[in-house]
Amino acid sequence: MANQPDVMDKLVSLCKRRGFIFQSSEIYGGTGSVWDYGPLGVELKRNIKDRWWNAMVRARDDIEGLDAAILMHPRTWEASGHVAGFVDPLVDCKTCKGRFRADKLEDARCPQKPSKQPGHHDACQLTEARNFNLMFKTYMGALEESASIVYLRPETAQGIFVNFLNVQQSMRQKVPFGIAQIGKAFRNEITPGNFIFRTREFEQMEMQFFVEPGTDMEWFEQWKQVRMEWHLALGLSAERLRFHQHGAGELAHYARAAFDVTFDFGGTLGFQEIEGVHNRGDFDLTQHQQFSSKKLEYYDQLNNKRYVPYVIETSVGADRVTLAALVNAYREESVEGEDEGRVVLGLHPSLAPIKAAIFPLTKKDGQPDMAHQIVEDLRGLFTVDYDESGSIGKRYRRQDEVGTPFCITVDGLSTGDDTVTVRERDSLAQDRVSTSQLKGYLAQRL
């Protein structure tokens, strides 16, 4: 049961209007469940990826970064189990030509009679279920023949497994240690949707932590907590976050244990997975050893023993966290003494695409020049925006709606005493700050 309101339609509209997210190839009618990030969306998603990279790679000496290629040797996907097992059962309706997941029919609506699920309307003619592989296929080289088939990776994890020894040996890492990467993944989802929640092209932030067998459950518990804390530190509200444990029937073919971090997206979508934490055992390294005929063992010098490490995986979608951050931040509120309310994106300051907006109160008396000078002084340290059009109230509203934490106004006093007004987005509190102290003031609060 969802406790939170459904803000998705309002967000989709805000995201398009204010340059966060556009439908891909919109002028051609759009591409199914593929989205483009506009100027503010790309900053927001980049801030989320930076927070992840800083926490997972830069702040630790036991995790190394990697950027593996999207196109991998096709045997990779045989070894990983994706060629045989990365399938959804699919049914078609001969009447309406609709296509549905056979195991999720109760969540789908008949296009001709939306009050019923597919198969429950008299006119429905559903086919038998058949398995549909979610990997996108393409060809490498000039010849379109089966020998040259390659896949767009459906997860970034396999690029990490095949590089396990390269990274361990080149960086002289000792188990336990991890490898992390951020990159695109592709899945030909049958029922994508809910804006950027489930798309066919998305970005994953994955980390595989290699541990000695027997210590895996301890590390699994530790990583569960570390990852939940990361989401809380992004400002996602505690009441919207919850773990979901996978029961025996839900576990992926590789998993010994799994928990999802779920977030309450509100409305009927409710709590949904944003991150998976899995104990993958030695499944992947053992499979790659077998399919490549190359040993992927770790030599523990101290204890003079060799073993195939177990893997604890943390796998989070950059787009899903972006959506969660937007849903979490969206609010409408009335403002005391004003007729019109305001829409605010109460984003954590570190995620806000614009950190400070600078306004001259009027276009006269040297105010625009001084405001431009402040923009130039702050640029490089913070993402800033200059705006001189419309009333000051309208300019505040425009910045509230995109989550800008601070608005700086140059007014009649400013050119005389070198001070400006700094207004904070959430409390609406206004401080008078000297321009020479502006950088420090913002740095402390951001």
Binding mask 319-358 for ligand GAP (x = CB under 6 A): xx--------------------------------------
CB of 398 to ligand GAP, least distance (A): 29
Interface positions, 261-290, toward ligand GAP (CB under 6 A): 273-276
Residue carrying structure tokens 């130039």: 376
Residue 181 and residue 286 in contact, taking contact as beta carbons nearer than 8 Å = no
Binding mask 158-187 for ligand GAP (x = CB under 6 A): -----------------------------x
Q: Does 88 bind ligand GAP (CB under 6 A)?
A: no
CB of 441 to ligand GAP, least distance (A): 36
Which residue of 55, 211, 241, 316 would you call a contact of ligand GAP, by CB under 6 A?
316
Which residue of 315, 328, 404, 435 would you call a contact of ligand GAP, by CB under 6 A?
315
Which residue of 194, 204, 279, 367 would you call a contact of ligand GAP, by CB under 6 A?
204
**Cα–Cα distance measured from residue 441 to residue 405, given in angstroms and rounded to the nearest whole number:** 13
CB of 192 to ligand GAP, least distance (A): 6
CB of 112 to ligand GAP, least distance (A): 27
Among 199-207, 239-247, 382-390, 418-426, the segment contacting ligand GAP (CB under 6 A): 199-207
Among 72-80, 166-174, 196-204, 335-343, the segment contacting ligand GAP (CB under 6 A): 196-204
3-class DSSP assignment, residue 323: helix
- Residue 86 gets the label, from left (phi > 0), alpha (psi -120 to 50) or beta, of beta
Q: Does 155 bind ligand GAP (CB under 6 A)?
A: yes
Number of Cβ within a 10 Å radius of residue 198: 17
CB of 283 to ligand GAP, least distance (A): 12
Q: Does 157 bind ligand GAP (CB under 6 A)?
A: yes
**What one-character-per-residue DSSP string does 375-391 give?**
HHHHBTTB-EEE--SS-
Q: Does 6 bind ligand GAP (CB under 6 A)?
A: no
**Cα–Cα distance measured from residue 161 to residue 206, given in angstroms and rounded to the nearest whole number:** 11
**Cα–Cα distance measured from residue 50 to residue 326, given in angstroms and rounded to the nearest whole number:** 17
Q: Does 246 bind ligand GAP (CB under 6 A)?
A: no
**Cα–Cα distance measured from residue 133 to residue 188, given in angstroms and rounded to the nearest whole number:** 8
Residue carrying structure tokens 């058949």: 130
Residue 225 and residue 172 in contact, taking contact as beta carbons nearer than 8 Å = no
Q: How far is CA 52 from CA 176, 317, 318, in A?
A: 20, 11, 9
- Residue 421 gets the label, from left (phi > 0), alpha (psi -120 to 50) or beta, of beta
CB of 428 to ligand GAP, least distance (A): 35
Residues that bind ligand GAP (CB under 6 A): 155, 157, 187, 189, 198-199, 202, 204, 206, 273-276, 313, 315-317, 319-320
